[in-house]
Amino acid sequence: MRFSQRIPVVVIAVFALVLTSTYTLTPPHSPQTIIDHVGRSVPIPHRIEKVYATSQSGSLLIYALNPALLLGWNTALSPEMDFILGSKAGGLPVLGTWDQLYQTVDLDQVAVLHPDLVVHLAEPDLPNLGLAEAIEAELGIPTIVVDGSFEALPRSMRWLGELFGCQVRAQALALYAENTLMKLEILRNETKETPAAVYLVGDSTKIDLDTLPIAGLSDVQTDSSLQADRILIIPDPIRDPYRELIKNPPPQAQKALDEGEIYELPTVPQNWLTPNSILRLVGVEWLAQMAYPGLYSGDPAAKFQEFMEVFYEVRVPMETALRIARQN
């Protein structure tokens, strides 16, 4: 059985108009107060017109839901993404990041822009609850935590769509995400007896490790009895993980190395497995196709084109998509 079927963009749009959303995360319960995903009661304006997201992953999601809401990016767009999204996106200011790892935010610039709301897309845990409270205290702007875990993406999209008044758009994106999750569940049922094993090379904190089992993969670093079938290179802007692998190959990766089963994770507009990022919707299918080419067929470049058309309403030239998907 092959799992290359995808819900067409037109079908997604039609379903978005007729289906009623089912919320399992607490939706806004009044025009002025919401309960966010760490249980905080947050007063918000009646109308939200300007949003600062604390991370690039959050900004990419806000921009997908409603580009007019986003005040700025957290890091500069790559040349490829600047070209793809056009001058409107590229013209937004860089405001910096404020998350568990980085605090590069330009507080003065954010204050001048007067956001109605700060969105912190992250794991809904105590550290992020504390961070949201610190951000709100510093900026004096309502700050909410939104669950960024992979399997929560459809629910979080619908919840934000309700909050921002773009329910139809959010429903279309959520259906796309649910279709991806459904295909991967079918794949896991087919491969659960003999899952492929992967050896990670590079900084594993830069990826969402939960996406590996979702794509039907086992991580050999967590099970010393396994031999890797595939090697996944996590790119690094400073050092060369591939050179380090060749120089000192670990025993668990030797079989995959000998067979040339080495794959480098795409990184435009950010690495496709970045924690909390909607790019994981492309990344998990890229992983599945890498691990099970006979079962999970598909063209990563075409998948990226499809994702960009659904989420950002742009058509990416095939030559650009091939380069981004590391196929040429």
Mean pLDDT in the chain?
89
Same domain, 113 and 220: no
For residue 307, name the pLDDT band (cuts at 50, 70, 90): very high
The domain that contains 63 carries what CATH number?
A: 3.40.50.1980
Average pLDDT over residues 55-59: 98
Same domain, 102 and 248: no
Per-residue DSSP letters for 304-320? HHHHHHHHH--PPPHHH
The pairs formed by 108-114 with CB atoms below 8 angstroms and a separation of 24 or more are 109/72, 110/52, 110/71, 110/139, 111/139, 113/50, 113/52, 113/71, 113/72, 114/50
Is residue 309 domain-resident?
A: no
Backbone φ/ψ region at 172: left (φ over 0), alpha (ψ -120 to 50), beta: alpha
**Is 87 a residue whose pLDDT tops 90?**
no
**Is 30 a residue whose pLDDT tops 50?**
no
Is residue 183 domain-resident?
A: no
Same domain, 138 and 227: no
Closest CA to 37 of 124, 122, 153, 131: 124
Same domain, 158 and 266: no
For residue 14, name the pLDDT band (cuts at 50, 70, 90): very low
Average pLDDT over residues 114-142: 97
The answer to whether the Cα torsion of 191, 195, 201, 205 is positive or negative is positive
For residue 83, name the pLDDT band (cuts at 50, 70, 90): confident
Same domain, 214 and 79: no
Q: Which of 213-217, 244-248, 295-299, 323-327 has the highest mean predicted lDDT (pLDDT)?
A: 213-217
Other beta carbons within 10 angstroms of residue 297's beta carbon come to 13
**Is 203 a residue whose pLDDT tops 70?**
yes
pLDDT (0 to 100) of residue 295: 87
Is residue 326 domain-resident?
A: no
Is residue 314 domain-resident?
A: no
**Is 3 a residue whose pLDDT tops 60?**
no
- What are the beta bridge partners of residue 122? 147
Residues 6+ apart with CB under 8 A from 188: 213, 214, 216
**Is 155 a residue whose pLDDT tops 50?**
yes
pLDDT (0 to 100) of residue 56: 97
Same domain, 233 and 173: no
**Is 104 a residue whose pLDDT tops 90?**
yes
Closest CA to 11 of 245, 216, 162, 176: 176
Same domain, 53 and 77: yes
Locate 218 and state its tokens.
Answer: 């086992």
For residue 327, name the pLDDT band (cuts at 50, 70, 90): low
Average pLDDT over residues 22-34: 53
**Is 28 a residue whose pLDDT tops 70?**
no
Is residue 154 domain-resident?
A: yes
- Cis check: omega of the bond before 269, within 30 degrees of 0: yes
Closest CA to 66 of 205, 170, 202: 170
Which of the two residues, 328 and 260, has the higher pLDDT score? 260
pLDDT (0 to 100) of residue 20: 37
**Is 311 a residue whose pLDDT tops 90?**
yes
Q: What share of the chain is helix, strand, coil (3-state, %, to 5)?
A: 45, 10, 40
Is residue 327 domain-resident?
A: no
Same domain, 204 and 133: no
Same domain, 156 and 287: no
Place of tokens 């594993």: 204
pLDDT (0 to 100) of residue 285: 95
Q: Calculate what percentage of the chain has a pLDDT beyond 70.
A: 90
Place of tokens 């013209």: 91
Q: Give the domain range for residue 162.
A: 9-177
Rg of the Cα atoms in the chain: 20
Please say whether the beta carbons of 25 and 155 come within 8 A.
yes
> CB burial class (10 A; 0-12, 13-18, 19+) of residue 86?
exposed
**Is 18 a residue whose pLDDT tops 50?**
no
The conformation of residue 218, written as its DSSP 8-state character, comes to E
pLDDT (0 to 100) of residue 31: 54
**Is 237 a residue whose pLDDT tops 50?**
yes
Average pLDDT over residues 157-164: 97
Number of domains comprising the chain: 2
